[in-house]
Amino acid sequence: MDLTPEIELIEGEVLDAIRRVVRSGRFVLGPEVEAFEREAAAYLGVRHAVGLNSGTDALVIALRAMGIGPGDEVITSPFTFVATAEAVSRVGATPVFVDIDAASFNLDVSLIEAAVTDRTRCVIPVHLFGHAADMGPLLALVKDRGLFVLEDTAQALGGRYDGRALGTLGDAGAFSFFPTKNLGAFGDAGMLATDDDGIAERARVLRVHGAKQRYLTEVHGYNSRLDEIQAAVLRVKLPRLDEGNAQRRQVAGFYTDALAGVTAIKTPAVATYAKHVYHQYTIRVVGQDRDRVVSRLGEMGVQAMVYYPVPLHRLPIYEGLGYELPVADTAAREVLSLPIWPGLSREVQSRVVAALIDAVR
């Protein structure tokens, strides 16, 4: 990803915002954070947005705010960044992996019911690469079981499920503003969104060392505060998010059309319920050595990335759980993400396509 086009577009406005913070002398949980939380909540259509240090902390703090801890089980995807399962482990609970849908790379909702036990407390669907998980059947499944739903929306801010904003359908949504995300800060930053007053209140306490009042810690918490400079940057960028996502969809449409009929490439499918925001444009390399294709692209000056080469159930920290999840294993061998960002020129898009077609011949 090249951040240069966006930075060039907003540099003056961002520097003005940073200067405003510097001159205020307020750097932690000040007016910029408060304003960003209001604006983000309004954008999503939720009651509460709680600014945090990172998307990982948003997952951890959301789980803590739901009361999830040792002895509990949390069902989630094996095909995502490690932070999703790591957050479950960090609160003392056990991640339970369910295989993925081959088309969307998200949780196969039809497999969740069989994974539910009397210890299950929560399901974490991941809206991977910007494509919505199938939330309707998932919510119907958990409705009568008293389970929490925490949406991992780190890669999908601005995405929709049947017209509803991702991160607002469950009990809470966790968001990352890592610089390369669709809405990226100039450093680490994250957010929890919810309509649940109790979850929001507990999250705000947990982000400041578990204290409602300074120096009166009531529970073990965290130092996980969204700082003023990052909030100011995000306030500049948030109004441009939908336009940037629309540009990503245009790039994705060009790739999909240009690669149609290339037998070695399977382009991303988009479900009818989903409004994709293409944090990544992820293809499958079918019937060939994916790593050789990545290497060949590099030789031709095209950087491609693999998200994720090792599914979570194969990581050393989780392989002892003994899962066999063949769809996730296959995806890990085949996936390849192409360059995509707002402002990516058609000339570069054409070069990427030409190089990829040459690499799979």
Q: Kindly state the tokens that stand for 248.
A: 């990503």
| Model confidence at 144: pLDDT above 90 | no
pLDDT tens per residue across span 74-118: 999 999 999 999 999 999 999 999 999 999 999 999 999 999 999
Task: Please state the rounded mean pLDDT for residues 28-50.
Answer: 97
Task: Please state the rounded mean pLDDT for residues 156-160.
Answer: 98
Of 90, 80, 202, 205, nearest to 153 (Cα)?
80
According to DSSP, the residues that pair with 148 across neighbouring strands are 122
| Model confidence at 337: pLDDT above 90 | yes
pLDDT tens per residue across span 286-322: 999 999 999 999 999 999 999 999 999 999 999 999 9
CB burial readout 139-166, b (16+ within 10 A) else e: bebbeeeebbbbbbbbbbbbbbbeebbb
Q: Kindly state the tokens that stand for 49.
A: 């947005």
Q: For the chain, which residues make up each domain, given as ranges? A: 4-240, 241-359
- SS3 call for 187: coil
Report residue 149: phi and psi, to 5°: -125, 120
Task: Please state the rounded mean pLDDT for residues 235-240.
Answer: 98
The share of the chain scoring above pLDDT 90, in percent, equals 96
The answer to whether 190 and 176 have CB atoms below 8 angstroms apart is yes
Task: Please state the rounded mean pLDDT for residues 343-361.
Answer: 97
Distance CA 77, CA 311 (A): 9
For residue 334, which amino acid is it?
E
Quote the pLDDT of residue 5.
Answer: 87
pLDDT tens per residue across span 52-68: 999 999 999 999 999 99
Q: Kindly state the tokens that stand for 271.
A: 């479900």
Quote the pLDDT of residue 157.
Answer: 98
Quote the pLDDT of residue 2.
Answer: 86
Long-range contacts (CB closer than 8 Å, 24 or more residues apart) made by 290-293: 290/333, 290/334, 290/335, 290/336, 293/336, 293/356, 293/359, 293/360
| Model confidence at 72: pLDDT above 90 | yes
Distance CA 119, CA 271 (A): 32
Of 3, 361, 298, nearest to 179 (Cα)?
3
At 221, the pLDDT band (50, 70, 90 cuts) reads very high
Helices and strands: H and E segment counts in the chain: 12, 15
At 184, the pLDDT band (50, 70, 90 cuts) reads very high
pTM of the entire predicted model: 0.96
Domain covering 241-359: architecture: Alpha-Beta Complex (3.90)
User: What is the CB neighbour count within 10 angstroms for residue 92?
Assistant: 13
At 243, the pLDDT band (50, 70, 90 cuts) reads very high
pLDDT tens per residue across span 195-209: 999 999 999 999 999
Q: At what angle do helices 197-206 and 55-65 cross, to 10 degrees?
A: 120
Q: H-type helices in the chain, by residue range?
A: 4-24, 31-44, 55-65, 83-90, 112-115, 135-143, 197-206, 228-237, 241-259, 290-299, 326-334, 346-359
Task: Please state the rounded mean pLDDT for residues 124-147.
Answer: 96
Quote the pLDDT of residue 15.
Answer: 97
Task: Please state the rounded mean pLDDT for residues 151-157.
Answer: 98
Quote the pLDDT of residue 48.
Answer: 98
At 342, the pLDDT band (50, 70, 90 cuts) reads very high
Quote the pLDDT of residue 116.
Answer: 97
Distance CA 157, CA 253 (A): 19
Residue for token digits 């990544």?
280
| Model confidence at 4: pLDDT above 90 | no
Domain covering 4-240: architecture: 3-Layer(aba) Sandwich (3.40)
The answer to whether 248 and 340 have CB atoms below 8 angstroms apart is yes
